[in-house]
Structure 1
Amino acid sequence: MSTTSRYQKLFEESIDSIALMDSELKLIEVNESFRNNFEVSATGSSFQDFFAEASLYDEFANLLKENYNVEEFETILESGEGLKKICLINCVRIVEEEQDIYLAVIRDNTRRKNAEQELLKAEKLSMTGKIARSIAHEIRNPLTNLTLALEQLKDEIPDDVDADLYFDIIKRNAERINTLITELLNSSKPKALKLELMSLNEVVNSAIELVKDRLNLKDMELQLDLDQSIPSLQIDKDQLQTAILNLLINAIEAMKEGQGVLKISTWQDDYVYLQIADNGKGISEEHMKMLFEPFFSGKRKGTGLGLLSVQNILHSHNAKIEVTSEVGVKTVFTIQFKSEM
């Protein structure tokens, strides 16, 4: 009995992707699920071709070489059309007629992982809101007392004592603390939406109008690729425009004057997408992990609440936002909307 026929039942009944590979990890046979998930029409391809990055394959291959099997190896695989999938791989060596054969079972965990990430974001946003309300209560009361005491003190200081500089410092910083609390509350609390059915492109164009002067002043190029066939969405125009405007301003500020190229595009498949890309300074891997954290900012004078507010507005629209970046090359924000909300 051939190796392929020995596992025929497994091939036919499994909903997971299954591949038989030779000692060089080239495909001998794959099941229907593998062909559908990775757009494979013929065998002979190298398993390496399906890994999103060479380093991920090297890690997998080294584990297989050392242990002759790999259990629950989480990695990112890529379909023939470039679609990335978060997968778990179980692979074992089988000795058949003095030949090494490898059987790999691949489970697509993309939906589960995405659902976990969305749940985590929602929980984090909810927790941020609770902390913000607690901070507001605990700080605003003594801050109000401080401001009142400052005004009383100003009345009691003799005219010949010049303390205006110190009074101004205390007042400005008290006002800044109060502003930060207000912004934190606004950026983290659930948004009450005034939804209307309208074109996403219309909202994008209205946001672009508000930054055109900045683009012209800094001699930056704007590239638009808006799909006019995308369906209308249930949108709160003012809030979504605010979120898009925040992303556009961030992109402009990240690019060099006279060299910046801002690319904005919309398209659709099962979802409707908006993408904002710049060729600016990029975001480091360390900073990417903190991008939507409150009070984290890459700007010297930033409050670190802008992207938190963006995320909150998009979450209220049942939209997802993803970020990819390469330091010194580009940053890309991709927003995914459901066609029917």
Structure 2
Amino acid sequence: GVVVMDYDNRIASLNPSAAKIIGILSEKAVKGRALAEIREQVLLDLSEIPMHETRTIGLYDGTIYKCSLDSFIDRGFPRPFYLIESLTDELRRAEKKAYEKVIRMISHEVNNTTAGITSTLDTVEKELEGISDTDDMRQVMQVCIERCFTMSRFITNFADVVKIPKAELSPVNLNDMIRAMIRFMEVLCINRNIRLSFHAHDERLPVQIDAALFEQVVLNIIKNSVESIGADGEIVITTSAHPSVLEIADNGKGISKQVEKKLFNPFFSTKPAGQGIGMLFIREVLSQHDCHYSLRTYPDGWTRFVIQFNKQ
């Protein structure tokens, strides 16, 4: 996308690609205005980029753009312009390759080490069974063994992200799938006094998905909504057609603008003990399904995870 400024550093023109990326409906809405004036109305804020420099900017839907500010000579005077290039696919491929290699290496080393330690501790603990005054020592060894198992489970969670199976797509009625999941999802909500409701579109909504993987995505999103609310709140699931869209909204504590841009980064989490695995799983599965998705808190205070399915 390209945004061309006038001599007073106001928007003179922009191409359709730039308009789509920035998030404006028409050139008329922004023509003649400074970028700083419209920063609250657009998805991509370019106003802080210094001349002849490049910045990488991430959005709430996980997309990443390389944004550059440069100039060209027009009638003897420099005119600034912004060049916006998508880096999402390229960066994600590089990211995935890097974290898969690191996770495999760490998983191999940790599991081999903990297996040796637990085996040794177990043997020593059994040898101490017939010796008096060794109860405290045996208890300590049991604690160490349990810690080794915990560490192994911890690293296995990361390894599982690398092993996400390839999606096997088949036709599924989106409304029927959500209805079948409602009872289980209600269990997550009832003890916290969270109201869960489903507003299904009247039409049948056939989508091509891997039902097992997609159900796990929905459950992860609902779980995040429940944790965001804590207690006494509401989660609303909505489907719509043309195109087929699934929206999961909650009135929890919301997401800040700073956090929005990092939500789909590998292993990023806002939770004190979080590992960021759930959001990474969601990102990978939705990417496999070629879905467009976004997660952010809107001015009305509701946080919405929106998943749009490509035309089937």
* TM-score, normalised relative to structure 2: 0.72
Q: Does 1:281 align with 2:253?
A: yes
Q: Mapping of 1:1-341 within 5 angstroms?
A: 47=33, 51-53=38-40, 59=47, 109=84, 112-113=85-86, 116-157=87-128, 158-163=131-136, 164-229=138-203, 231-258=205-232, 260-269=233-242, 271-293=243-265, 295-325=267-297, 329-340=301-312
SS in 2 for 1:324: strand
- CA positional deviation for 1:174: 0.9
- CA positional deviation for 1:179: 0.9
Between the aligned partners of 1:44 and 1:182, the Cα distance in structure 2 is 50
SS in 1 for 2:171: strand
Structure scoring higher RCO (CA < 8 A, sep ≥ 6) equals: 2
Task: Name the Cα RMSD after superposition.
Answer: 4.4
| Conservation of the 8 A alpha-carbon contact between 1:230 and 1:272 | no
Between the aligned partners of 1:199 and 1:338, the Cα distance in structure 2 is 15
SS in 1 for 2:223: helix
Partner of 1:10: none
Aligned length: 295
| Conservation of the 8 A alpha-carbon contact between 2:56 and 2:66 | yes
| Conservation of the 8 A alpha-carbon contact between 1:284 and 1:327 | no
SS in 2 for 1:222: strand
1:7-44, Cα deviation, whole Å (9 max, x unpaired): xxxxxxxx9777879x79698xx79969x976559799
Change (3 A) 1:74 1:54: farther
Between the aligned partners of 1:41 and 1:294, the Cα distance in structure 2 is 35
| Conservation of the 8 A alpha-carbon contact between 1:243 and 1:313 | yes
Q: Percent identity among equivalent residues? A: 22
| Conservation of the 8 A alpha-carbon contact between 1:48 and 1:54 | no
| Conservation of the 8 A alpha-carbon contact between 1:191 and 1:313 | no
Change (3 A) 1:204 1:159: farther
Change (3 A) 1:169 1:296: farther
Change (3 A) 1:88 1:220: same
Between the aligned partners of 2:276 and 2:29, the Cα distance in structure 1 is 51
Q: Which runs of 5+ in 1 are unaligned?
A: 1-14, 64-69, 77-84, 96-101
Change (3 A) 1:154 1:293: farther
SS in 2 for 1:276: strand
| Conservation of the 8 A alpha-carbon contact between 2:264 and 2:279 | yes
SS in 1 for 2:188: helix
* TM-score, normalised relative to structure 1: 0.67
Letter in 1 for 2:234: V
1:80-112, Cα deviation, whole Å (9 max, x unpaired): xxxxx99878789989xxxxxx988776x4xx4
